[in-house]
Amino acid sequence: MDRLPLLVEMTRGRPGHYETRHAGSISVVDGSGAEFINLGDTDQAFPVRSAAKPFQLLPYLLDGLHLTHPRGSEELQPDLAVMMASHSGEPMHTTRVAEILESIGIAADALLCGAHWPYNEAAREELIRLGQTPNALHSNCSGKHAGMLAVCQRRGWALESYLDADHPLQRRIHDIIATLCGEAKTPLPRSVDGCSLPTYWLPIRGLARLFATLAYPQNAPLVENRAVDEALGTVFTAATRHPEMVGGTDRLDTRLMEAFAGRLFAKSGAAGIYAMSLAACDAFPKGLGIAFKIEDGDPDSRVRALVACEILRQLDVSPEASEKEDPLSEIATATVRNVRGLAVGEYRPIFDLPQKGPGS
């Protein structure tokens, strides 16, 4: 494979001289499923990791569990949002997941996602202050696992083996993802995710196509021989109305969705994966699915923030009116500061999207 295009570079006090450069691939697909912008190698497949969470939630909706949600209609949307979250482990997340489990009579120790320290600094420091260690509720994936346990309970499927790739729930999720991204004819390659569930490998264009179904659900293929536009619309609405549940305080996913006020769904994956769904609008009447991969994994999400915002700028997609001159610049912080807080460098995007239009 040829070298991937450079997307972002970081300079340190010497204009024209870079300290780091970050390459990757970008795909933009419209609601018809057609890729009309590609940069880099969008045929290369990667494990989609947490970017799959909105679609791992679909069995919950297709089985109608939202129609008899045990916590009532007022809690439905935020509960759905945390079920597709890579949350920060803040009390608003852990409490909600615990209450979901309690409402269906499943103990928290049924969660097999493992435990890690909260991403949120304040939540992490509070645990330390109390002399406590994190439990499974603090895992960024705990909401997803709670939703899966609810489906298994309703179906009478084994709870203790829900992680297994040959469990009926995981086979079902595989088939849903493969169908929606246009790869239904052959089994998707798989690996094991950080939370021990199967994760499937998709080309970057396939991930963009998957997110295009959220942007324009009426064009999504049939799943399990039925239309899924209502379920996909429910996913989009729950996430964009409760972005704080999908990520958390100061998290990229949350800040982007808040800036676009219901028009954009944004979801991070691990190791440099990112995906967005832009709802249908005048410029893009069938919406957009956008996906990209940062080759070096972008462990702190800084490069992904810059690339996501720059893609939206180049597509001429603007956030809602704001008192801030450029809300995206607040999200994609370019300035590099040292430990004393001095500005010592900057990150900047260095790519141009090919000038193509939907259907070209």
Query: Where residue 323 falls among pLDDT bands split at 50, 70, 90?
Result: low
Over residues 204-213, mean pLDDT: 97
Fold category of 6-349 in CATH: Beta-lactamase (3.40.710)
> HSE on the CB side for 352, CA within 13 Å?
3
37: CB partners within 8 A, 6+ apart: 26, 27, 28, 353, 354, 356
| Interval 40-65: pLDDT, tens | 999 999 999 999 999 999 999 999 99
Alpha carbon distance 260, 226 (integer Å): 31
pLDDT at 331: 86
CA dist 96 → 141, 194, 218, 304, 333 (Å): 13, 22, 31, 28, 31
| Interval 268-317: pLDDT, tens | 999 999 999 999 999 999 999 999 999 999 988 889 999 999 999 999 99
Question: Secondary structure of the chain: what % helix, strand, coil (to 5)?
Answer: 40, 20, 40
CA angle 84, 89, 92 (to 5 degrees): 80
| Interval 250-272: pLDDT, tens | 999 999 999 999 999 999 999 99
DSSP notation for 18-80: EEEEEEEEEEEEETTS-EEEEES-TT-EEE-GGGGHHHHTHHHHHTTGGGG-TT-HHHHHHHH
- Residue whose token pair is 């991403």: 119
| Interval 142-197: pLDDT, tens | 999 999 999 999 999 999 999 999 999 999 999 999 999 988 788 999 999 999 99
Instruction: Indicate if the pLDDT at residue 327 is higher than 60.
Output: yes
Say if strands 198-203 and 190-192 run parallel, antiparallel, or are unpaired: antiparallel
| Interval 92-131: pLDDT, tens | 999 999 999 999 999 999 999 999 999 999 999 999 999 9
pLDDT at 126: 96
Contact call for residues 307 and 256 (beta carbons, < 8 A): no
Query: Where residue 325 falls among pLDDT bands split at 50, 70, 90?
Result: low
CA neighbor of 294 nearest in space, from 276, 270, 266, 310: 270
SS3 category, 313:
helix
The strand ranges marked E within the chain are: 6-11, 18-30, 35-39, 45-47, 190-192, 198-203, 264-268, 273-278, 288-294, 335-337, 343-349
Phi and psi at residue 240, in whole multiples of 5°? -75, -20
CA dist 166 → 161, 163, 185, 188 (Å): 9, 9, 18, 13
Letter for the amino acid at 87? H
Instruction: Indicate if the pLDDT at residue 1 is higher than 50.
Output: no
Cα 112 to its chain centre, rounded Å, is: 21
Letter for the amino acid at 26? I
Alpha carbon distance 3, 7 (integer Å): 12
pTM of the model: 0.93
pLDDT at 209: 96
